Structure formats: C-alpha cells, structure tokens
Structure 1
C-alpha cells in the first residue's frame, strides 16, 4: 500500500502542476494492482475532484475562466459523462479503453502550448462543443476527467489563451468527474462509494497533499515543459503495461 500511496502522491503532484486531475493514471495504477475494476472509476473520479477543485477556484478568483465558452463545453460534456458512468462494461473492454486513453493522454501532454494571448481562432474553434460530448462519455465510462483530451484540441484550434484553456480544462474535469460519479453510483448502487472510499482513503489523502503541492510549488522547481514530459512518460508507460498485460 505504501508504494501505491507514493504513486498516487506523485501522480497528483505532476498532473496538478500542469492543470489536470490524473484520473486515467489513478485508474491504471489501481488496475495493475488488482483493485476491483468496478470501483476504479468511482475512486479515480473522486481523486480528480480533490485535485482540480482548488485549481478551479483559483482560476475563477483570478478572473481567468472564460465562463461563456467553458460552461458551453461543460454543459455538453456533463450529461455524456453521466451516461458513460451508467454504461455497463466488461473488465477486458474497460482495461483496453483505459490503456488506450492513457496513450492518448500522453500524446496530449506532448502537444506544445504557447503562452500569452490566443491568436485568431481557427475555423475549427466553433466545433469544439462537438468534441466535448464523446470526451465526456469516455470520462464517465473509465474514470477520467477528460480535460487532458479537450485542452490539446482547444490549443490547436486557438480557442483562447493558454491560461483560459487551462481554466476551462480544470472546470471541465471537475464537472465531468462529479457527473461521472453520479452515473457510476446509479449503476452500481450508493454502497459502492462507501466501499471505494474505505478501500482508497489513504490514496485520497495522498492525492490531497500531492495535488496541493503540485498546484502551488512544483512549477517553481522544474520548468512546466519538463513536468509535462515526465507526466507524459508516466502515462504512456502505464498505458502500455495495461494494453500488453505486463
């Protein structure tokens, strides 16, 4: 358990430092440890909520959240996240989708991000709500927030400035995680959250500490680009292990 606690702490620290929750990596670590896969999304989404709540509040207080666009994307994705949480899925299919989502997560972290204000949006920026629905569904299904998939699309479409995209991704992860948990509990019964918390309370505490350190201190010691590369490497390695059964 000590090794898992440390892994959750490091994951939360890395992801929080680049504005994400880390749900897919939490799920993968639990899956590799033999944790009941039916509880994975609940615990992973709960960890997401813990990590991104503080960041979402800080972005909002700083006036960085582009509320009109962020709420539109979130409103499209949240019902899909709820449906994803409701969808029954077999263990093998769950692990395959989770491993694939990790590889995509790693690729998303490697997408270069420019600072400062956004350039003129591309014609694809207006279609971002269409991408939000499938991302939300996957979020609820396998226990991720989805912001790690949305953010690279927003950057490539020059949807808004880098800081506004980060704020949007944080809110997106928070709301999708809450709706995903609701769908999971309706599917499996409210008793599952008690079982998930009872089994994973030390991991949740590790995520609380790691997330706070990541969001407040980590970027002062390592350049954000290096942190993103480290996080991408972690997710890709874990994803490959899931897909290859190693």
Structure 2
C-alpha cells in the first residue's frame, strides 16, 4: 500500500501543486508524477498506470478550459492523434528499460527550453500547416514513447508545435491537452490488456490532482498572458528535463 510509505502525506501535498503547474500549460503532468513517485520509492509497476490515470483527469480538465476559451485547433490535433493513438496502445503493452531513453529525452528538452527563452530567436508570427507525413511521423513516435514510459506526450508535442511554428502558445496548450488525454487512455488500455491493475490509493491521488488541475487550467487559460504561459512552460520543461536526466 502506498499509504504505508514514509511521509506519504508530504507526497499527497505536493501532488496537486504538480497538477496545477502542468494543467496551466495544457499538460497532464505524468512526467512530474513519475518523478514524485520515484522520489517516494513507489513500486515501478504502480507508477506507470497511475501516472496515465492522473493524466486523464488533469489533461481532460485542462482541455475543457482551453477549449472553452476558443484555443483548440481540431485540424492540428488530428494531424498528430491519428497515428499517436494506436502507437500509444502498442507502447503501453511493452515493458522495457527506459533509462537511456529518459536521459536522451531530458537532454533534448534542454533545446526546447532554450527556444522558449528565445535563445534560438524570437517566436515567429507566421504559422505553417502540418503536412500529413509530418503529423503521422511526429504523432506516431510521441505516441509510442508515451505509452512505453507512461506519459501523455504533451511535454514533447508542445515544444515541437512552437519550434516548427505549427501553432501559437495557447493553441499548442489546447491541442496538447487533448493529445495527452487520448494517448493516456490508449496507453492505459494497452497496459490493462497485459493484466496490469491500478492501486486503490490511485483514486485518492486523482481527487487531489483534479483540484490542482482545475485551478491550473483556469488560470492558464483565462488569467495568464501568453508571456506568462511561456515562462510557466519553461518551468515545466526544466523540471521534466532534470527528472529525466537525474532520476
């Protein structure tokens, strides 16, 4: 039982904070949840399905608020989701050592951080359409690794959308939120097909994550400027990068 772990109450206090931070930029927060669970020595077989379950609720909440504010681009979402959904299901069925992959991904996120800080130049006002092959390739690769590791993929998709000028900041957040939701659902289905079950404590974590997700989604979609969302995303990327490289 996770409740038997030392300082489990500290874990429960930190969880909604992570959900708040990630939901504010349209993310589900799986990479943050996985990092937190690792720090508190939660069993690996519990981490992956629990992170995906939390993603469903937090990313779903984030999508609702961003959609309500009119930031959702259906065509952009479908460009990636068509390939990501079946690949996330496939990735969810596979159990492999992902340590090397996490290190590589953590390093790659540093480049996304530099772009968000305009180190690579200012963000262009010109928006390009995603070509069919680009959407299938990017969506498929992110979807597979999302299911494999237990994340929704938004932490990867958002920087790609912005780096390649496929959408604006809040548009990327809205698309990423639903992208995370469908990938998490597919990845979780893939895990269930192999006989993996959820820990009963997971539902307590869901309740706390929803609270943080509601607040984060509201402030991210309504109250914060594009500049505020950008720096919030930088914080998320830095946290994810550190977690992937060091944990």
Normalising TM by the smaller chain, what interval?
Answer: 0.7 to 0.9
Once the two structures are TM-superposed, the CA of residue 116 in structure 1 deviates from its matched residue by 9.9
Whether the aligned pair in 1 keeps the contact of 2:19 and 2:58 (CA below 8 Å) is yes
Q: Deviation digits for residues 96-128 of structure 1, max 9, x if unmatched?
A: 444554554565355328999951428879623
Gaps of 5+ in 2: 1-7
Once the two structures are TM-superposed, the CA of residue 179 in structure 1 deviates from its matched residue by 0.3
Gaps of 5+ in 1: none
User: Which residue of 172, 176, 186 maps to 2:193?
Assistant: 186
Please show how residues 127-138 of structure 1 align to structure 2 within 5 Å. Answer: 127-138=134-145
Whether the aligned pair in 2 keeps the contact of 1:8 and 1:26 (CA below 8 Å) is yes
Q: Deviation digits for residues 40-91 of structure 1, max 9, x if unmatched?
A: 11100111111111222233334432212312311110100000001122xx
Please show how residues 59-208 of structure 1 align to structure 2 within 5 Å. Answer: 59-89=66-96, 93-98=97-102, 100-105=104-109, 107-112=111-116, 118-121=125-128, 127-189=134-196, 192-193=197-198, 195=199, 198-208=200-210
Once the two structures are TM-superposed, the CA of residue 176 in structure 1 deviates from its matched residue by 0.3
Aligned to 1:235: 240
- 1: CA distance between counterparts of 2:117 and 2:73? 18
Once the two structures are TM-superposed, the CA of residue 159 in structure 1 deviates from its matched residue by 1.3
Please show how residues 6-17 of structure 1 align to structure 2 within 5 Å. Answer: 6-17=13-24
Once the two structures are TM-superposed, the CA of residue 95 in structure 1 deviates from its matched residue by 4.3
- 2: CA distance between counterparts of 1:54 and 1:46? 13
Once the two structures are TM-superposed, the CA of residue 225 in structure 1 deviates from its matched residue by 3.9
Whether the aligned pair in 2 keeps the contact of 1:125 and 1:159 (CA below 8 Å) is no
- 1: CA distance between counterparts of 2:178 and 2:125? 19
| C-alpha spacing 1:36/1:123, structure 2 compared with 1 (3 Å) | closer
Q: TM-score, normalised by structure 1?
A: 0.82
Once the two structures are TM-superposed, the CA of residue 139 in structure 1 deviates from its matched residue by 0.5
| C-alpha spacing 1:201/1:184, structure 2 compared with 1 (3 Å) | same
Q: TM-score, normalised by structure 2?
A: 0.82
Query: Secondary structure of 1:71's partner?
Result: helix
Whether the aligned pair in 2 keeps the contact of 1:59 and 1:65 (CA below 8 Å) is yes
- 2: CA distance between counterparts of 1:123 and 1:51? 27
Whether the aligned pair in 2 keeps the contact of 1:135 and 1:149 (CA below 8 Å) is yes
